[in-house]
Chain A
Amino acid sequence: MSDNKMLKVIINDKELMVPEGITILEAAHEAGVKIPTLCHLDLHDLKMVNQTASCRVCMVEAPGRNALVPACVTKVSDGMEVRTDSIRAITARRMAVELLLSNHPNECFTCPKNLECELQALAAELNVREIRWEGERMDYPKDLSSDAIVKDSNKCIYCRRCETMCNKVQTCGILSGIGRGFDAFVGPFNNIPMVESSCTYCGQCVQVCPTAALTEVYHMDKVWEAINDPDKYVIVQTAPAIRVALGELFGMEAGTIVTGKMVTALKRMGFDAVFDTDFGADLTVMEEAAELIYRIKNNKTLPILTSCCPAWVKFIEHQFPELLEIPSTCKSPHIMFGTIAKTYYAKKNNIDPDNIVVVSIMPCIAKKAEAKRAELTKDEHNNVDIVVTTRELGKMIKEAGLDFPNLPDSEYDHPLGETTGASVIFGTTGGVIEAALRTAYEWMTGEELKDVEFQQLRGLDGVREATVDIGGNELKIGIAHGLGNARILLENIRDGKSDYHAIEIMACPGGCIAGGGQPYHHGNVEIVKKRQEAIYEEDRNKKIRKSHENAEILELYKEYLGEPFGELAHQLLHTHYEERERI
């Protein structure tokens, strides 16, 4: 593609100049002409473009060519004329959708993607009023093997977005097209159940699936059951990224902070106590900063890698088993929270831990599988019992009949509800390491950190690095989000090509704000940016912005845990990892 060469194209009689190398679809966008798409997905900020041209929904007429052409992959040429509005093009596009529907389960009413489905939306947009062909249907069993992801191949339209995401962006290589022709579907190696694959359950495939071929495992019923069991004391905790995204499910502007309304909703739904995973995040900072300092002072393994993200933990277990010494041993914030709820909190309030049910509201699908990991479910009770996604919480609030946008604000309960700005930013890429540095700085130097905002750690670039001066000690920090970017960092560490002291990795491109369990962004990356801005705004709004100044955290150590990274802390708040096969 030459740099600035401009080409003349005529779209529906409108003439315009466009740069060489762009597609008809992009040119049409510039001309203000909408061409419907389905398989196409361009998340350019996240470096993902799905251009399989498999759905044929974007067919347009290019006079001079006999056949219609797919607009999403056909590059414009000089003098090209395009008609998107001819009866031939319109009919062809509608027929493509009709053919997809002829082999699609007719169960929109009860489908989990009802009103969120891109195929359904397209059928409405193209005014499909009748499915003229009753086609043969696929009949594959649902893959319910994992605790996190359901794969229903009968709803697969073979757009291959999941495959592009899994292979090109996340570099996990779990999903591939299998078979050919009518029977083709997407699945793992040898069509093994998902649970036997090396899937990290990051859920990015779910985030981009246009239909319900890939969804999370729903646990909403379990939550209602617990709430309605009079013997159970049901505690709910909300992850940092929920409060900046939940509102979208109720028609509110992306990036609206709805913390107070969310707390009210949870209280009205009947939870016995409403707490904040941010408390767990502050606790994580205490432990992780202490671990970092311990490792630096005692010449132990460096870099230290944050371990808050369960998808990333599973990624390193499968893909880099030789590096299992470097992740922090800290449990993730919501698991730490669950542990504290069933020990410290239970004791303090004289509740039998066996009767406590901890529910985590997470922007994440991987957390569902994490909560079931063997080492986190020992001692006769689970650390966390049930995990539901932001999307599931939205559905539950609707089920409960609450008028969410008009709810008043409420405060979290105490003593596990006091939080800081440091813990809020756990929800975005760069936030965990920034929060840890706010504490590590003061602990290492004994001085007050005046400006708590480490701008050099922020942004949305896939791999970032920065050097932070801590009382004359230079700490080299690496940050990656998206597992493909994490792979680059890890390969450098494995090959001895980097000298980082600390690294933060989040599996989802953008971090938890764009997690697999968040409201569907339908390819609009601007939504993710707005959520990130909201996270930093929430941080600025907090009176206390450093984890080690959280009074309830300090009280927890004083009354119960002892020293950060001490013996009891080790026993309760730290974990271990295991080598897993790569398939």
Chain B
Amino acid sequence: MTKPQAISVTEPTGEEFPKEKYDELGKFIDGMETTKGALIEILHKAQNIFGYLPRDVQLFVARKLGIPGAEVFGVVSFYSYFTTKPRGKHTISCCMGTACYVRGADKIIERIKENLGIESNEITEDGLFTLKDVRCIGACGLAPVVMVDDKVYGRVKVEDVDDIINQYRK
């Protein structure tokens, strides 16, 4: 049975964002010389503005650029940088690339999971942290590497993990 759609044709679904945020993204796109080949850049901007890329934001981008929603989602789902779920106040990225992995990244991330009580790509109950396991972040000389937001922690030992996290609990 071809069901009538549960989603409305005009009303947004999910979390509602203030119009200003959409305006800001729209202005950014309008200001580009060309949108050809610029999807990733636009999605970066969108994630900066909204914090993540929920359904409506992806569809907004698709319609603005006149491309299928599936194409946008294909890119969003390909890159681990993009997220379709809200993030915590801080994002902890544990590098699981080859160099970090052979230097014990698996033990580091286990300790982080224990400390936070969540798995990868989840958000802590207090909304403070999101944990991501990422591939190489290009700091192999410092392996194993953990990033909290934009700050890089190199040569991390298991016993350092709690101290690093606690700095952000204040």
- Which A residues form the contact surface with B (CB < 8 A)? 146-147, 167, 172-180, 187-191, 195-197, 369, 372-374, 579-583
Minimum CB–CB distance from B92 to chain A (whole Å) comes to 22
Give the residues in chain A near B32, CB-CB below 8 Å. Answer: none
- Cβ-defined partner of A173 (8 Å) among B6, B9, B67: B67
Given contacts A147-B2, A176-B73, A581-B9, 4 further A-B contacts (CB under 8 A): A172-B68, A174-B70, A190-B73, A372-B1
Please determine whether B7 and A190 come into contact, CB atoms closer than 8 angstroms. no
Does chain A have a CB within 8 A of B34?
no
Please determine whether A195 and B7 come into contact, CB atoms closer than 8 angstroms. no
Give the residues in chain B near A191, CB-CB below 8 Å. Answer: 73, 77
Give the nearest-CB partner of B79 in chain A.
A180
Does chain A have a CB within 8 A of B55?
yes
- Cβ-defined partner of B68 (8 Å) among A177, A178, A189, A579: A189
- Cβ-defined partner of B7 (8 Å) among A172, A179, A180, A196: A196
Name B's interface SS.
helix
Does chain A have a CB within 8 A of B43?
no
- Cβ-defined partner of A175 (8 Å) among B58, B70, B78: B70
Complex Cα–Cα for A110 and B136 (A): 43
Please determine whether A173 and B71 come into contact, CB atoms closer than 8 angstroms. yes
Minimum CB–CB distance from A92 to chain B (whole Å) comes to 25
Given contacts A146-B2, A190-B55, A195-B2, contact A581 B68 (CB under 8 A): no
Minimum CB–CB distance from A316 to chain B (whole Å) comes to 15
Give the nearest-CB partner of B9 in chain A.
A581
Given contacts A147-B2, A195-B3, contact A190 B69 (CB under 8 A): yes
Please determine whether A583 and B9 come into contact, CB atoms closer than 8 angstroms. no
Q: Interface code B1-22, partner A: CB below 8 Å = 1, 0 otherwise?
A: 1111111010000000000000
Does chain A have a CB within 8 A of B31?
no
B residues 71-107 with Cβ under 8 Å of A?
71-74, 77-78, 84
- Which B residues form the contact surface with A (CB < 8 A)? 1-7, 9, 55, 58-59, 62-63, 67-74, 77-78, 84
Complex Cα–Cα for A582 and B66 (A): 11
Please determine whether B69 and A173 come into contact, CB atoms closer than 8 angstroms. yes
Give the residues in chain B near A196, CB-CB below 8 Å. Answer: 5-7
Please determine whether A581 and B72 come into contact, CB atoms closer than 8 angstroms. no
Complex Cα–Cα for A175 and B7 (A): 19
Please determine whether A580 and B78 come into contact, CB atoms closer than 8 angstroms. no
Please determine whether A174 and B2 come into contact, CB atoms closer than 8 angstroms. no
19 A-B pairs with CB atoms under 8 Å apart are A167-B68, A173-B70, A173-B71, A174-B70, A175-B70, A176-B68, A176-B70, A177-B78, A178-B74, A178-B77, A179-B78, A188-B69, A189-B70, A196-B6, A369-B2, A373-B2, A580-B5, A581-B5, A582-B63
Complex Cα–Cα for A175 and B70 (A): 6
* Residue of B4, B63, B68 contacting most chain A CB atoms (<10 Å): B68
Complex Cα–Cα for A579 and B8 (A): 11
Complex Cα–Cα for A182 and B5 (A): 32
Give the nearest-CB partner of B54 in chain A.
A190
Given contacts A179-B77, A189-B58, A580-B9, contact A372 B69 (CB under 8 A): no
Please determine whether A189 and B69 come into contact, CB atoms closer than 8 angstroms. yes
Give the residues in chain A near B67, CB-CB below 8 Å. Answer: 173
Minimum CB–CB distance from B75 to chain A (whole Å) comes to 9
Complex Cα–Cα for A146 and B5 (A): 12
Give the residues in chain B near A197, CB-CB below 8 Å. Answer: 70
Give the residues in chain B near A583, CB-CB below 8 Å. Answer: 59, 69
Please determine whether A180 and B72 come into contact, CB atoms closer than 8 angstroms. no
Complex Cα–Cα for A374 and B2 (A): 8
Please determine whether B9 and A579 come into contact, CB atoms closer than 8 angstroms. yes
Complex Cα–Cα for A446 and B55 (A): 58
Complex Cα–Cα for A180 and B67 (A): 21
